[in-house]
């Protein structure tokens, strides 16, 4: 059977940029002859796709992607998915909400699975400026208007206002089972053969970087972090991640470099085995 792969771009990018997602698509096609690679375009044009990464309700984006996948006959038998940065948690929502066609492996490259609570290249966790800007952003992040129309607010996760986050986060709190446990989400995610998470050790964009391995800040403060295995999500197994971990389905990879910085040799050695 021909291997198939679906990719989702990150913010500021689009499905077909020849310097980024277009180059990834071409590289995979060169390394795996005969593979079918679909780079998701959210919208009717490359311009719309780029704008969607900033301004389109993520739940609508996920529904759009699910419809597109369901209509592609080449994906009918199943596919492997690779998401870059925010595209990774969006594809996880696809896995949880849309089991047909079936997603076999999910590869998250710098995805923020517990969201973010920080600013790109902000100078250090102890910086008073960082904290001040965070609070200013957070004062509006959970309003209906911002949640609906600013993509990054939809995975803004404030550990200092946990109740506010759980009540008003339209996307992340839902797919992370923060309000109620949707057994269908859990069942669908557990059907993955592999869930691969890549963390960039010198990441200056994602704060906290442990979100790339499904970790986050401990609730009530924004300095100490906890791993996925230390979290209530894992201990209560609301998403089935603990069971998947014990079954060897979770793969945690780390690489030096800043956000989404990797070379072809590393990609071929570490990620290609999961999409062949």
Q: Which residues are catalytic?
A: 85, 203, 259
CB 61 within 8 A of CB 89: no
**Token digits of residue 99:** 């089991």
What residues does 251 pair with on adjacent strands? 196
Q: Which residues contact 137 (CB under 8 A, 6 or more apart)?
A: 119, 156
- C-alpha 185/C-alpha 202 separation (Å) is 32
- C-alpha 11/C-alpha 190 separation (Å) is 27
**Token digits of residue 227:** 């791993």
Q: Which residues contact 214 (CB under 8 A, 6 or more apart)?
A: 113, 114, 197, 228, 231, 233, 234, 241
Q: What sign does the CA torsion over 17, 21, 27, 28 have?
A: negative
């Amino acid at each position: 059977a021909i291997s198939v792969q679906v990719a989702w771009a990150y913010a500021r990018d689009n499905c077909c940029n020849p310097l980024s997602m277009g180059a990834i698509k071409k590289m995979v096609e060169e390394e795996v002859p005969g593979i079918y690679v679909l780079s998701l375009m959210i919208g009717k044009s490359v311009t719309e796709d780029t704008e969607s990464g900033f301004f389109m309700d993520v739940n609508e984006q996920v529904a759009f992607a699910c419809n597109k996948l369901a209509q592609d006959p080449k994906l009918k038998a199943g596919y492997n998915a690779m998401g870059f940065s925010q595209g990774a948690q969006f594809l996880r929502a696809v896995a949880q909400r849309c089991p047909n066609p079936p997603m076999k492996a999910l590869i998250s490259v710098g995805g923020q699975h517990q969201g973010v609570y920080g600013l790109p290249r902000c100078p250090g966790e102890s910086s008073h400026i960082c904290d001040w800007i965070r609070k200013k952003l957070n004062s509006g992040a959970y309003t209906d208007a911002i949640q609906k129309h600013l993509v990054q607010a939809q995975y803004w996760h404030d550990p200092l206002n946990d109740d506010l986050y759980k009540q008003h986060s339209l996307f992340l709190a839902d797919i992370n089972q923060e309000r109620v446990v949707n057994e269908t989400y859990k069942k669908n995610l557990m059907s993955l053969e592999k869930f691969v998470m890549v963390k960039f050790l010198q990441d200056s964009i994602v704060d906290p970087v442990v979100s790339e391995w499904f970790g986050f800040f401990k609730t009530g403060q924004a300095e100490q972090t906890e791993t996925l295995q230390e979290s209530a999500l894992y201990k209560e197994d609301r998403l089935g991640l603990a069971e998947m971990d014990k079954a060897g389905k979770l793969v945690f990879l780390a690489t030096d470099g800043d956000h989404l910085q990797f070379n072809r040799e590393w990609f071929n050695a570490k990620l290609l085995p999961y999409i062949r």
